[in-house]
C-alpha cells in the first residue's frame, strides 16, 4: 500500500479506500487482511493475471513513445567497486553499439528501493533472493590474494598461504574476510598485521597497486589489473563466495528493449 501510494503520489489511506470501493462495487474481496499484512484472494489473483499483461503493454508503449525524442534512458545503481572496475571501463563498447540508449550510473552501497527510487536497474552483490523482483545472474566471484610486482620484489615472494602473514593485509573495515580465508587455508592468523582498511573494494585495489600491502579481493573486480600486470595473483588458492553479482529490477522493466540489450551485454562482459 505504501509503495503504491508513493507511485501515485497519494496517501496509503487513499489507496486502501479505493480498493475497498472496488471490492464493495463488485461484491468480491481482492485482499485478505491480517496482522501480518495483506495477501491476494483467489479473486484478486485471477484479476491480476488478466490485467497485468495489458498494463505492462501500456507502460512499455508509454515509455517507448516519450523516449523517441530524447533517446531511451537507463538509470543504474551499482556498487562502487563493480562500477569502477567492471562497468565503466567497458561501457564505451555498449554506447558505441547503442548510441540511442542513454546510460546514467549511480554508485552507492545502499540497497535502492526499485519500487520508489528513480532507478531502472540495480547491480547487487548477494544471494539473488529479492521477493517481487526479477534477477539475472552475472558472475560468481572468488576471493584471491593480489599484490603489486614491486612489493613482491622488495619483500620476497609468496609461495604458501602462511607467507601472507609477512605483509600488511589490506581489506574492508569488518576484517572478517582475511580471518575466514586464513581459516579455510588452515593457517593460524594470530600474528597477522592489518594494514589500512577501506569501505570500498576499489580503494583496496588502488592501495594494493601502490604497494601498501596485499589485498584479498574478488577476482571479478581485478580482471584488468591482472591482465596489464599491475597486480599479480600470488597464490592458486581461492575461496569461493556464496554471493554473486545480479542485475535486479522490477519484472516489467526487463520487458523494455533497452533493458534487454543492456542486460545481455552485462552478462557477456561479466562472463569474460
pLDDT in tens, 203-245: 999 999 999 999 999 888 999 999 999 999 999 877 766 788 8
Residue 172 burial (CB count, 10 A): 17
User: What Cα–Cα distance (Å) separates residue 5 from each residue in 85, 118, 172, 247?
Assistant: 37, 15, 38, 26
Residue 164 burial (CB count, 10 A): 25
* Residues 22, 28: Cα–Cα separation, whole Å: 8
- Would the CATH topology of 2-66 be identical to that of 71-140+243-271? no
Residues near 190 by Cβ (< 8 Å), separated by ≥ 6?
none
- Which sign does the torsion angle of CA 228, 231, 236, 237 carry? negative
pLDDT for position 107: 87
pLDDT for position 69: 39
| Alpha helices per DSSP H over 119-213 | 149-155, 176-184, 201-209
Q: To 5 degrees, how large is the angle CA 236–CA 238–CA 243?
A: 155
CATH 3.40.190.10 fits 71-140+243-271, yes or no: yes
pLDDT for position 66: 54
pLDDT for position 70: 43
Half-sphere exposure of 206 (CA within 13 A, CB side): 11
pLDDT for position 80: 84
Nearest to 75 by CA among 36, 110, 33, 118: 118
Question: Over its length of 272 residues, how does the chain's per-residue pLDDT go in tens digits?
Answer: 777 877 777 888 888 888 888 888 888 899 988 877 788 899 988 888 888 778 777 766 666 555 443 447 899 999 888 888 889 999 999 999 999 888 999 987 777 778 777 888 999 888 888 888 899 999 888 889 999 999 999 888 899 999 999 999 998 876 678 888 898 889 999 999 888 888 888 899 999 999 999 999 988 899 999 999 999 999 987 776 678 889 999 888 888 888 999 999 999 988 77
* Residues 80, 228: Cα–Cα separation, whole Å: 21
Residue 272 burial (CB count, 10 A): 8
User: What Cα–Cα distance (Å) separates residue 77 from each residue in 47, 114, 124, 127, 150?
Assistant: 33, 10, 9, 17, 35
Do β-strands 168-172 and 193-198 pair in parallel, antiparallel, or remain unpaired?
Answer: parallel
**CATH code for the domain defined by 142-239:** 3.40.190.10
pLDDT for position 175: 64
Domain boundaries, the chain: 2-66, 71-140+243-271, 142-239
Q: Which DSSP helix (H) or strand (E) runs through 187?
A: none
* pTM greater than the 0.75 cutoff: no
**CATH code for the domain defined by 2-66:** 1.10.10.10
Amino acid at each position: 500500500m505504501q509503495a503504491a501510494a508513493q507511485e501515485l503520489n497519494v496517501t496509503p489511506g487513499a489507496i486502501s479506500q479505493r480498493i475497498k470501493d472496488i471490492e464493495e462495487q463488485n461484491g468480491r474481496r481482492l485482499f485478505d487482511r491480517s496482522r501480518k499484512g495483506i495477501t491476494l484472494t483467489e479473486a484478486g489473483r485471477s484479476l491480476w493475471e488478466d490485467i497485468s499483461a495489458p498494463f505492462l503493454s501500456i507502460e512499455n508503449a508509454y515509455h517507448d513513445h516519450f523516449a523517441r525524442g530524447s533517446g531511451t534512458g537507463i538509470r543504474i545503481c551499482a556498487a562502487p567497486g563493480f562500477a569502477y572496475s567492471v562497468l565503466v571501463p567497458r561501457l564505451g563498447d555498449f554506447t558505441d553499439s547503442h548510441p540511442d540508449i542513454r546510460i546514467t550510473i549511480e554508485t552507492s552501497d545502499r540497497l535502492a528501493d526499485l519500487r520508489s527510487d528513480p532507478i531502472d536497474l540495480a547491480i547487487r552483490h548477494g544471494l539473488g533472493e529479492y521477493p517481487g523482483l526479477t534477477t539475472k545472474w552475472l558472475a560468481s566471484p572468488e576471493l584471491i590474494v593480489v599484490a603489486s610486482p614491486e612489493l613482491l620484489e622488495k619483500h620476497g615472494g609468496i609461495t604458501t598461504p602462511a607467507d601472507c602473514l609477512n605483509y600488511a593485509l589490506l581489506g574492508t573495515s569488518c576484517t572478517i574476510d582475511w580471518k575466514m580465508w586464513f581459516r579455510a587455508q588452515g593457517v593460524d592468523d594470530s600474528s597477522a598485521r592489518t594494514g589500512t582498511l577501506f569501505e570500498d573494494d576499489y580503494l583496496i585495489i588502488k592501495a594494493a597497486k601502490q604497494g601498501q600491502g596485499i589485498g584479498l579481493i574478488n577476482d571479478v573486480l581485478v580482471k584488468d589489473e591482472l591482465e596489464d600486470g599491475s597486480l599479480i595473483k600470488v597464490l592458486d588458492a581461492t575461496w569461493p563466495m556464496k554471493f554473486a553479482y545480479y542485475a535486479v529490477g522490477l519484472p516489467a522493466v526487463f520487458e523494455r528493449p533497452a533493458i534487454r540489450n543492456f542486460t545481455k551485454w552485462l552478462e557477456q562482459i561479466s562472463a569474460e
